[in-house]
Structure formats: C-alpha cells, structure tokens
A and B are shown apart, each in its own frame.
Chain A
C-alpha cells in the first residue's frame, strides 16, 4: 500500500521565533501538491519536517502505509520510502554515475541492477553523456537535474522538492518541469513541492497549499484555488498585491 502523509498541529521555533504554528494537513496519494506563500511563511521548514529531516517541537507527522493503512514507525525503512530534494544539491565529489547510484548502493542493491536503473534515469534527465564526468563539473541546471535523478532512481513513494528550479534559467526550468511531468505519468508517487513561482504552481499542481505566517491558511485544487481563493491573503499573494 502506498504511503499517505498527514501532519497535525506542527509547531516549530528557531531561537525563540515561531516558524510554524499548529500546521495540519492530510496529503492524498499520487497527487502533486505545491506549497506557495511569501518568504518566511514556513514552507521549507514545513517540507523538511514532513520529509523527516527535522523534528517538530510539537505535533505529529504520520505516514500510513501498512497493509491495513496502519501508521508506520519513524525509522530507516520508512525514510527509504521518501526523499527530499534540497534547494542546494549536495553533490558528492565523484562521477555523475556514482552520485545517482548512491541511494541504490546504500540500500545494498546489486551492481548490475544499479547500473541498469542509473542508466535509465540518466537517460530520462538527459545526463547520460555526462555519466563519467565528475559531478562538480556540471552547470547549476545540470546539477539540479542530477538531484532529480538521484531522487528518482530510488523510486520514492513521496518526493519532496524544495524550490527545485530556483535560480535556474527558463530552459533548465522547462527541463525540470518536464521531468516532474514524466514522473507523474510513469510513477505512482506523491510530489510535495515548494515554489515561489506562481506560474509554475499553476502548471504543475493538482492541489495548492498557501502558507502564511507559519500556517496553511488556504488550499484547494489548482483551478479552484487560483480562480477563487478563499483567503484574502492568498488572493493578494496570487494577484501580486501582497507587499513583503
């Protein structure tokens, strides 16, 4: 049974400053969720907590995915069913191939199988011709594609993306978005993504969450959210009237 994520009453403070306040949401499986909101609204922190990279101060992150939909234990087995692509790709100082193979190698997969999967994934993101190069020689757009390839190859059930196209040129952004769309077509997975780009959210999202001041204040299916936002702040944000 595929994973289903729900968070309830998440609170997080950094140095006494509240970043998330009673955040709750339930994500359906096999959908693309896009988190939007002004800077400092808590989107990335929310994503990192959902992806089990950080612990909340209060509240619960639950993954259901047992045979009868039971809640899974927060352990390495669960962590290996999800992955998070950080805004800055932590490229390992080795070849492109080894970077992509990393997630499979730590899972103890046989080298033949690793090779097959890595070649297929590199083909999908258009990096097959660079597989033997050191990953540090890649451009920022290519590095971002490498990050997507590393995440894709392990076939997560939930893929978290934190601003995957920030600081990329339009061409690289298109390639990343096409890759996300391919993922949507070919894999059964849930994507939860943070972006600052409202147009990107419109292009990709099945469901949009608007965050403001540490909470999810509005959400809805793509068209419904952008045509008739329920919250005044969400309306001002998507119409460009919100002053940061």
Chain B
C-alpha cells in the first residue's frame, strides 16, 4: 500500500513539475490520435452521409458490417497494418513501419467505423419531416443534405468524441506498428505498459492519471452533447 501511495506522490510531482519527458509523450499521443481522428472523421462522415441518404442494394448488410467493425480488436488492426507496412508487405517500400504515420494509420482504421456508423445512425434518426420541410422551402438536394447534417450535429459530435476516446485509450495496435520507440513513437498508453513491466510506477501512474482525466473530460463533453441533443428535441 505504501509503495502505491509513494507512486501517486511521485506521479503528481512529475505532473506538476511539467516533466519534459512526460510532456513530449502527451504531446505525441494527442498529435497521433488527433490526426487519426481528423482523417477518420473526414472519411467516416462522408461514408456515413452517403449510406444514410443513399438507397442501394445490400445497404442493410453494409450497415451491419460497419457496426461490427466498431468493435474491431486493436491487436488485429495492428497486425493487419503491420503486414501491409512491413518490408515484405504491399506498402513496405514506403518505410512507414515504426513511425508515427503507421500509428496514425492504425488509429484511423479503428476510429473510422465508429465515426461512420454513429454518424449514419444520427443522420437516419433525423425526423423525415425535416427533409420534406426543407424541400417545400425551396432547398436544392445539396442544401437539404447540409440541413440534415446540421440537424444531426449533436449525434455526429458524439460520434467524433466517442472515436477520440477509443483511439486515445488504445494500446495494442500502436504498440505493434509503432514499436514504442522512446522519443519517437512512445505514447501514453504504450509508456504505461512498458513502465509497468519495468516496475517504474511513477511515470506509469502519472500518465494513467492524465489519461483518466482526459477520458473524464471526453465523457463529460459527450454527455453534454447527448443531453443538449435530447433537450432540444
């Protein structure tokens, strides 16, 4: 028990002294996850909107597949990206393995189905009367699409935040494709795993506290959006 209390004490010292190593790890984590989130949101929103508005065969099956992919095991994604980017893989010539770019790729694959699927569900749940009202007021099909996306904005924001929560907490995929190289591909979650293995609990606990705080902030924002969406309905 004493060692745990001591670990927490040292962790808080690291946090409040703005330890440079700690800061660089946090910065890289936010950079990788943020970039992955931007890419996943751009593609996911486009795909979600397209499926939401489109009428085509196998639409139901595509939605089911996307929903299944929301629960993709990170290690499987890591393995898949590793095989693609490894020297003998189809994209091996790009030399991306064990770089932040590989980590962004893996996290984008993990975040994409969450953004696409939850955005799609937000768009589908917009009252059909909104579409008709928009048409009767003279909107073009494009303006009508934008209107529906605006109406689904709280659901879409929830999707983006949920995806951010997932990629920030993810460890398996980035460990495989990033290699956990100090000062280069080492992020919060992989550092926690490594430092725990080494018995160096101060840094691991400090990062754990920061991750939990971030997760709390993310969930609070998510809750606010969901509440706002419900209140306004």
Interface residue ranges, A against B (CB under 8 Å): 51, 53, 76, 79-80, 83-86, 88-90, 92-94, 102-103, 106-107, 134, 136, 150-151, 154
Contacts and interface: CB of A to CB of B under 8 A. Distances in A.
Nearest to A150: B137
A88 B137 CA distance: 14
Given A79-B138, A92-B151, A107-B138, A86 B233 contact: no
Interface string B125-162: 00101111111111110010001001101000000000
Contacts of B147: 92, 102
B232 A103 contact: no
Given A53-B135, A134-B232, A90 B130 contact: yes
A63 B232 CA distance: 39
Nearest to A102: B137
A76 B138 contact: yes
A121 B178 CA distance: 60
Nearest to B231: A136
8 tightest A-B CB contacts, nearest first: A90-B133, A90-B129, A80-B138, A103-B137, A84-B136, A90-B130, A106-B139, A106-B143
A154 B137 contact: yes
B135 A86 contact: no
Contacts of B135: 53, 79
A168 to B, nearest CB: 18
Given A79-B138, A80-B138, A90 B132 contact: yes
Given A76-B140, A106-B139, A106-B143, A93 B232 contact: yes
B136 A88 contact: no
A1 to B, nearest CB: 20
Contacts of A83: 136-138
Interface residues of B, number: 20
Contacts of B150: 92-94
**SS class, residues of chain B in contact with chain A:** helix
28 contacts: A53-B132, A53-B135, A53-B136, A79-B138, A83-B136, A83-B137, A85-B136, A86-B129, A86-B133, A90-B127, A90-B134, A92-B130, A92-B147, A92-B150, A93-B150, A93-B232, A93-B233, A94-B150, A102-B134, A102-B147, A106-B134, A106-B137, A106-B139, A106-B140, A106-B143, A136-B232, A150-B133, A151-B136
**SS class, residues of chain A in contact with chain B:** loop
Contact of B138 (A92, A94, A103, A134): A103
A76 B139 CA distance: 8
A85 B132 CA distance: 10
Contacts of B134: 90, 102, 106
Nearest to A136: B232
Nearest to A81: B138
A85 B135 CA distance: 11
Contacts of B151: 92-93
B133 A89 contact: yes
Contacts of A106: 134, 137-140, 143
Nearest to B140: A76
Nearest to A89: B133
B226 to A, nearest CB: 14
Contacts of B233: 93, 136
B232 A86 contact: no
Contacts of A51: 136
Given A53-B135, A136-B232, A136-B233, A88 B129 contact: yes
B138 A154 contact: yes
Contacts of B127: 90
Contacts of B131: 90
Interface in B63-77: none
Contacts of B153: 93
A86 B131 CA distance: 12
A90 B134 CA distance: 8
B98 to A, nearest CB: 46
Contacts of B133: 86, 89-90, 92, 150
**Which residue among B130, B133, B151, B232 has the maximum number of chain A CB atoms within 10 Å of its CB?**
B133
